[in-house]
Copies of this chain bind each other. A is one copy, B any other.
Amino acid sequence: MSERFHLATPPVAGQAALSGDEARHLVRVLRAKVGDRVVLFDGAGSRWLAEITAINRDRVELRTEPPITEAIPPGAAFALAVALPKGERQQWMVEKLTELGVARLVPLITTRGVALPTAAACARLERTVIEACKQCGRDRLMVIDEPATVGDALRRQPAGTSLLIADPAGETAAPAATAGPVLVLVGPEGGFTAEEIAAAEGAGARRVALARHVLRIETAAIAAAARFF
């Protein structure tokens, strides 16, 4: 795969430009020259083969070929609502969920959660999503949604969404795959409270156990994406 770069704004009339980190990486790290070819993607599902036409200070101009649009995958639109883990485990989780094709991540605000989904934290995660998309060949960014409580996360789902909540005391058999959208909720280190589980079950969520042992937050999220997506 060619080197991939994220476009902040789509090309106009076959002309595009990279600036900021993307331009610096291309010019200073990869030492690109006029005439070199790269792949640009907009994060909304389109990519372009492009040729560098000019290199200025912190800005690279490119001529683009017609776009190639990534098909929306058949089957479920898969979303996860997760109480964010701490430190670098947060970035690690987001990298993996992006690679695995998760459509949307809702940072969960829970009673026992410790890592707050601040605006700065969510912005960092969006940068991680872009880096993972560059690396894994994904053209449509995983959306980092507005932080939400369990109740809000459930209320915001489209009608007909299959709801699952990770709970060590839940069913161990994998539910059958469904055709429509799926949302899996994953709680904080101390687990969901009885009230949070009751709210989810009240909204129709099934409790599922993802493994026999205690999973860290990021392991549970990745396992849910691999099993139910």
A-to-B contact residues, CB < 8 Å: 1, 73, 92, 95-96, 99-101, 135-138, 210-216, 219, 222-227
Contact = CB atoms under 8 A, between A and B. Distances in A.
A224 B225 CA distance: 11
Contacts of A225: 223, 226
Nearest to A71: B212
* Copies assembled: 2
A-B pairs, 4 with minimum CB distance: A226-B226, A223-B226, A136-B213, A136-B214
B73 A219 contact: no
A226 B100 CA distance: 12
A109 to B, nearest CB: 25
Given A73-B212, A226-B226, A219 B100 contact: yes
A222 B216 CA distance: 13
A223 B102 CA distance: 13
A224 to B, nearest CB: 8
Contact of A101 (B1, B136, B213): B213
Given A101-B212, A138-B213, 19 more contacts: A95-B216, A95-B219, A96-B222, A99-B215, A100-B211, A100-B213, A100-B219, A101-B211, A135-B214, A136-B213, A136-B216, A210-B226, A219-B222, A222-B222, A222-B226, A223-B225, A224-B226, A225-B226, A226-B226
